[in-house]
Structure 1
C-alpha cells in the first residue's frame, strides 16, 4: 500500500460553483489540479485550455489567476453549467462544446492545458449519456486518458505544459510513457491520498478482482501528470 500525502487545502480563489445533476462536482482531484496550476505559475498573459471542464471550477480558477481561458466539454449540461458559473463569478471564460480539442480552431495552441478527465475503471461499455459519463473510463480507466495523451502535443506551444490528474489505478507510468513517446518531457509532479468516493466504493470488489486495487488499500491515490513540450 502506497503512503502519500493527503490532498492540499483548498487554494485561495478556487471558489464555489453551482452544480447540476449529471455534471461532475469539484472534489479532491479538482483541488489537487488547482494547486498544480498555481505551482506552474499560471498568470496574466497566459492562455489556458481546460479539457473536460465540467462545472468550470478549474477554468474559473485559471481566470482568477489572470489567464485567458478556453474551456471544453462534450456534455451539454456541463457547458451550460460552466457558462453559468463564469457569469455568476464575473469571469471571462470561453466555453465550447465538443470532444477534446475538436472545438478549437486548427492550429490553436496554449501555454497550459489542464484536464480532470473521466478515469474510474468500469465494467461494460463507455456511457454515452447520464452522470456516469463524467467518471466511467473503460476497463482500465484509460479510455479518455490515452486520447488526451495523444492530443496534448497538438495544442501545446513550445514550453507549454499539460497538467492532468487521474487515479493511480490507471497506471501513471503508462501516461508518462505515452507522453514521452509523443515528444514531451513527462513525469508525475504530485500525489495525494484521498478517501474512496462513492463510485469507487460501489465497485471495490470488481476493482480488487481485476487487480486494480489492493485488498489492503483503504484510500485512493491520485496523481498529477505534468508534461512539457520542449
Structure 2
C-alpha cells in the first residue's frame, strides 16, 4: 500500500503498475483547477493504480478509467472498491473501450519516455513509460483522436515530458480541432529510467551534458465547438 497524494487515502500499488509520481501529482493539481461537479463525465486514460480516477470520483464525477494492461485494470478496480467510490474500469487500447462515448473531461498520463531501439515493443513494467524513440508513440494517437471523445466545451488534460517535444503536441491538437496551450510546467530530477539512458539521450541531443532534470508539462486542450 502507498499513500495516494491526490486524495489522501491509501492505494494498492504493485511494482508492475505505474504508481502516483510527480507527473500524476502535476496532473492532479490541474484537475483541481477544473470544474468537476456531480455527474461530470470524466475519462482517465492510462489509469494505472486509478489515483486520478479516484480524485475525480471523490468530487462526484461519473468516472470511466481505461488501461491497456489487465494488472492495472485489476489494481484500479480494487482501489476503487477500497475507497468505496464508483469507477468504471475498462481494459483496452486508448479510446477503443469507450468508442462512441463523449466526455466532459479527459485526463491522461500516457507512456512518454523516449526509449532506445526503434520498433522495440516495451514489456513488463516498461509498458507504463516506454513510448518509442521519440516518446510520442501514444501521444500522437491521443492527439489525433481526443476531439471525437470530447463533448463541445469539453477539456483534455495531458501530461508528458518536454523531451517528447511540446510544439508537436500543441500543433497536433490544434489540427484535430482543439484549442491547446501549456497550462503548467514543473522540473523534476531524473528518475531511474532517464538516469540509465543519459548517454543515449545526450547522443540524440535531447539533453545537455550536465542536465539532470526533466521538465514535465500539462497540456490543456478544449473542444470549442
TM-score > 0.5, shorter chain as reference: yes
Scaled by the length of structure 1, what TM-score is found?
0.92
CA distance in 2 between counterparts of 1:18 and 1:126 reads 30
Q: How does 1:157-176 map to 2 (within 5 A)?
A: 157-176=151-170
Deviation at 1:68, TM superposition (A): 0.6
Gaps of at least 5 residues in structure 2 are none
Deviation at 1:126, TM superposition (A): 4.2
The aligned residue for residue 136 of structure 2 is 142
Distance change in 2, residues 1:80/1:12 (3 Å)? closer
Instruction: Tell me, yes or no, if structure 1 residue 113 matches structure 2 residue 106.
Output: yes
The aligned residue for residue 5 of structure 1 is none
The aligned residue for residue 68 of structure 1 is 62
Runs of 4+ aligned residues of structure 1 deviating over 6 Å after TM superposition are: none
**Contact 2:44–2:106 (CA under 8 A) maintained in structure 1:** yes
Is the deviation greater in 62-71 or in 128-137? 128-137
Distance change in 2, residues 1:12/1:211 (3 Å)? closer
Scaled by the length of structure 2, what TM-score is found?
0.94
Instruction: Tell me, yes or no, if structure 1 residue 214 matches structure 2 residue 211.
Output: no
Is the deviation greater in 146-155 or in 35-44? 35-44
Deviation at 1:128, TM superposition (A): 4.9
Deviation at 1:115, TM superposition (A): 0.3
Q: How large is the Cα RMSD of the aligned pairs?
A: 1.4
- Give the paired residue count: 220
Please give the secondary structure, in 2, of the residue aligned with 1:122.
coil
RCO comparison, higher one (Cα < 8 Å, 6+): 1
